[in-house]
A = this chain, B = another copy of it.
Amino acid sequence: MSGKMLMLILDGIGDRSVEELDGKTPLEAAETPHLDSFAEEGQNGLMDTIAPGIRPGSDTGHLSLLGYDPYEVYSGRGPFEAAGIGMELAPDDVAFRCNFATLEDGKVVDRRAGRIKEDTEELAEAIRDIDIGVDFEFEKAVEHRCVLVLKGEGLGGDVTDVDPHEIDTEFHEAAPMVDSEENRRTAELLNEFVEKTADVLSDHPVNRKREGDGKLPANVILPRGGGKVPDMDDLDSKHGLDAGAVSGIPLVRGVCALAGMDILEVEEATGGLDTDPDSIIEAVVGSIKDHDLMMVNIKGCDLSGHDGLPGQKVDFIEKLDSSVAKLKELEDVYIAITGDHSTPVTIQDHSGDPLPLTIWGEDVRVDDIDEFNERACSKGAINRIKGGDLLNILKDLADLTEKFGA
């Protein structure tokens, strides 16, 4: 009888030997009785999300875990951010992450328009009336963030950022990164769009009010991270899977959306250290009956890794640990517990260090590992695999795969 599959992705969980923790990794230093019991009852190993030594982004890492080759499908962050806020995308579209920003005498004085929070939908409405000769969609996202999607054929995805990534300087003119008619056209359209956002925003009532209140106006849109929407077969057509996802991070939600997964709304999945693993796990347990595969990304460890805070990372891991116990209530589910990449506190960025991996479920070949961490798992029965193989391994365990050959 076929089962279900769950990938529990603990964002940035992997680490290195940390001096303040007596040479342990945060995961080794943390008290994790529940994660350890999955390791004890399951089989264990190491996983290189993309390949040994390759530092995955959150986008490329999750693509690999879902069985896509990121070197084939990854085209830049824009399309995944756009999909992450629920925009409908077609394979020929080109998407950009953007900021509402503040321009003064032709110079960018604040890349986030005083971290504007309110009335961005009104500004977005004005922007949607701009005419640049091709269809586009424009949506606000959280705070000063927004997304632009240029629609239609004949567009290229490889153009440089308009956002100068620093202040007190002019914004940049977009230019082709690779010279082609499509990229030249996109760069021209983008430059026209940016000029026209400055026109329609400069005298906008929202900005007059902001200035009256002593706030910086949001008087220009600065696009960056452009990319052509990849032509990805979704998990249903590729693997016959009805899949769902929970994540507090728009970028990961975007990857999952472009893979054709249902995105579950879990308000308590904040993507910050205040995220609530209990609520996330509860939502997953409640919704797995409707899906063949659930992917759950819990962010927290990654933030402590970026900030170089081993103690905070240990604390978050311990907070996580008690939540996962509830997953044992699930029947006929094969669970993989791992991460999307390491974020060592010694590096303060993603790294290519391999991740611990536990696969738990009825009839797996249980090994003699009884702790969930980098060193213990390295001695387990799985040995060392690539993230791109994980979905196939779970499908096989869950009897959801076809024989190749006769």
- Listed in ascending order, the chain A residues whose CB lies under 8 Å from chain B are 16-19, 23, 25, 46, 50-61, 70, 74, 77, 225, 251, 344, 346-347, 349-353, 363-367, 374-375, 378-386, 389, 391-397, 399, 401-406
A353 x B396 contact (CB < 8 A): yes
**Contacts beyond the supplied A16-B363, A225-B406, A383-B383: 9 A-B pairs with Cβ under 8 Å:** A16-B365, A46-B381, A51-B389, A52-B386, A56-B403, A70-B404, A70-B405, A351-B396, A383-B384
- B378, B396, B403: the one within 8 Å of A367 (CB): B378
**Chain B residue contacts of A54, Cβ below 8 A:** 392, 396, 401, 404
A61 x B405 contact (CB < 8 A): yes
A53 vs B403: C-alpha distance when bound (angstroms): 10
Q: Which residue of B lies closest to A348 (CB)?
A: B399
B378 x A378 contact (CB < 8 A): no
B403 x A350 contact (CB < 8 A): yes
Considering the complex of A and B, which 7 residue pairs feature the smallest CB-CB distances, nearest first? Answer: A57-B405, A53-B392, A60-B405, A352-B396, A53-B393, A383-B384, A52-B389
Say how far A245's CB is from chain B's closest CB, in angstroms. 18
A25 x B404 contact (CB < 8 A): no
**Chain B residue contacts of A405, Cβ below 8 A:** 56-61, 70, 74, 77
Say how far A405's CB is from chain B's closest CB, in angstroms. 2
**Chain B residue contacts of A19, Cβ below 8 A:** 363
**Chain B residue contacts of A344, Cβ below 8 A:** 363
This protein's copies in its complex: 2
A350 vs B58: C-alpha distance when bound (angstroms): 34
A57-B404, A404-B56 in contact; A374/B365 too (CB < 8 A)? yes
Most chain B CB neighbours (cut-off 10 Å) among A58, A364, A401: A401
B16 x A364 contact (CB < 8 A): yes
**Chain B residue contacts of A363, Cβ below 8 A:** 16-19, 344, 346
A353-B365, A363-B16, A383-B378 in contact; A251/B50 too (CB < 8 A)? no
Can you identify 7 A-B contacts, CB atoms within 8 angstroms?
A17-B363, A57-B405, A77-B405, A346-B363, A352-B401, A353-B396, A379-B381
**Chain B residue contacts of A366, Cβ below 8 A:** 17, 23
A57 x B378 contact (CB < 8 A): no
A61 vs B18: C-alpha distance when bound (angstroms): 34
Say how far A392's CB is from chain B's closest CB, in angstroms. 3
A366 vs B19: C-alpha distance when bound (angstroms): 12
Say how far A352's CB is from chain B's closest CB, in angstroms. 4
A57 x B406 contact (CB < 8 A): yes
A52 vs B47: C-alpha distance when bound (angstroms): 12
- B58, B381, B389, B406: the one within 8 Å of A77 (CB): B406
